[in-house]
Amino acid sequence: MPAHMKKHLTKNDITILVRGEAIELKDSVKSSLANIIGELVGDDSVSASEVHGDWLNSPRMRVAKYLKGVRNKEGLTQGDVCKKLGIQQSNLSKMESGERSIPPTLVGKFSKLYKVSVKRLQETEQKKKKAS
pLDDT along the chain (132 residues), means of 10: 55 60 68 76 66 72 91 94 96 93 93 91 57 45
115 in a structural domain: yes
Question: Which pLDDT belongs to residue 33?
Answer: 77
Whether residue 110 sits in one domain with residue 60: yes
Question: Which pLDDT belongs to residue 105?
Answer: 92
Question: Which pLDDT belongs to residue 37?
Answer: 75
50 in a structural domain: no
**Rounded Cα distance, 62 and 119, in Å:** 12
Q: Are 35 and 100 in contact (CB under 8 A)?
A: no
Question: Which pLDDT belongs to residue 32?
Answer: 79
Q: Does the model's pTM come out above 0.75?
A: no
49 in a structural domain: no
N-terminal to C-terminal alpha carbon distance within the chain: 83
Print the domain residue range for 31: 16-41
